[in-house]
Chains A and B, each alone.
Chain A
């Protein structure tokens, strides 16, 4: 009976040993621990582009995909618009890679938060700018807290996530430079 009572604690402790502080939160619910998304889940801006023209910055963000990473290393990809791979795909990260990614993201997130604090007051103009460029968002669950980073600063996190989840296979590298195929 005592062993049964201790079981949940043991699971949490062994999970912490393997993956760090994300486990207690992650076992409690089924939300992803890391989410990367590029673009919007709907309403892509229609734009016709001459292939001979140089790539216009405005095209950036037209692609739309989302990558969710769960506490057990399960990865869900969904490509919505202008991606090499459209639709849902799955991938299983190994534990060591997930652990390394979490460590990296924890470190980089702390730097991003510090940078945000150093920027001083929450300028409304800054909010607008960071929101417009370039349509990238990363949400990380740091312990009990959920933090969302948007805009240019998230580039480092985006690269880490793409590398760790081997998302190149779905065309994430080309996402920002695709032309309108319609």
Chain B
């Protein structure tokens, strides 16, 4: 099936490329394809359960303990980039008491999270919606204006946030619900637990107590690359890892996420934080925040990870889009 589609692609290509070049390219492309299909999982096959090995931080207690936890965790579609279904509370790990957000809470914060993740400006999406409302949706063609009144952002794969849509999404995402931690967290380890944290498949957000706004300043302090923040040509939330998960081990707080496949300025989707498609190994780092600095103290390699088209598609496409649209 795949070979056929490669041939079809090459045939289409021949319309644009000279025969001489094509004669040289075909064997190379086919041999590369054959090689890659040996190591990639087909779309039909499920990914095997991820296995991690510790590559940096051996001997550090939290690194060794977290290795056990990473290997015992159940991931959505066996893909750590897509979310975690269960995270076993092994010895030393604290129960942060996650509880699902209510539909109303999701409705309130949804646009903020999408806007922040995509554009690093949590108000932008709502500003656009407000603009269209104020101008009576005049910028849309009368023929399909009614559709855009329902959702002015449909061209950007952003769902509306009506309770109906939110409820449907909650039902579809039962395995990895949008949650808040009941306990405030002490993410900077200063002995004051004052961070209200919510979490979905795209990571965690530090928010205000009412879960109405993302605390951008705090997000930058804890999760962002401080050097990159100085660069105005860089996006405003250069996260150290993605998607971020937080945990507490022996009364200290840590966060983790992939750190070697972040694409901050993808050519086609420049503001979308995405995981790039390179075939470099998938690495997860554990970070500890102390004295105003987040340091990566452990590194893990997902040893049975393999690049495949399906995984690439799942990752490279905007996370919220696939999160809401495909479910």
Contact = CB atoms under 8 A, between A and B. Distances in A.
Interface of A: 35-43, 66, 68, 120-124, 127-128, 131-132, 135-139, 148-150
Nearest to B266: A132
Contacts of B235: 131
A28 B129 CA distance: 39
Given A124-B119, A124-B156, A37 B264 contact: no
Give 10 closest A-B pairs by Cβ, nearest first. A137-B232, A137-B233, A121-B131, A139-B232, A37-B231, A37-B233, A132-B270, A148-B232, A131-B270, A41-B228
Contacts of B236: 148
Interface size class of B (residues with CB under 8 A): 20 to 34
A24 to B, nearest CB: 21
Contact of B264 (A36, A40, A139): A40
A127 B265 contact: no
Nearest to A148: B232
A36 B135 CA distance: 36
A66 B264 contact: no
Interface string B267-279: 1011100000000
Contacts of B3: none
B121 to A, nearest CB: 8
B271 A36 contact: no
Residue from the set B227, B230, B233 with the largest chain A CB neighbour count within 10 Å = B233
A41 B271 contact: no
Contact of B234 (A36, A37, A68, A121): A37
Nearest to A130: B270
A41 B227 contact: yes
Given A39-B233, A135-B233, A122 B131 contact: yes
17 contacts: A38-B233, A40-B231, A40-B233, A41-B227, A42-B228, A43-B265, A66-B231, A121-B131, A123-B128, A124-B128, A128-B269, A128-B271, A132-B267, A136-B233, A137-B232, A148-B232, A150-B232
Interface string B230-244: 111111100000000
Contact of A128 (B132, B262, B263, B270): B270
Contacts of A36: 232
Contacts of B132: 121
Interface in B245-266: 262-265
A139 B232 CA distance: 6
Contacts of A148: 232, 236
Given A121-B127, A127-B271, A43 B264 contact: yes
B124 interface: yes
Contacts of B232: 35-37, 137-139, 148-150
Given A39-B233, A40-B231, A127-B119, A132 B265 contact: yes
Nearest to B118: A124
Given A35-B230, A131-B235, A137-B232, 15 more contacts: A37-B230, A39-B233, A40-B228, A40-B264, A41-B227, A121-B127, A121-B128, A121-B131, A122-B131, A124-B124, A124-B125, A124-B153, A135-B233, A137-B233, A149-B232
A150 B271 CA distance: 13
B231 A122 contact: no
Contacts of A138: 232
Contact of B128 (A39, A122, A150): A122
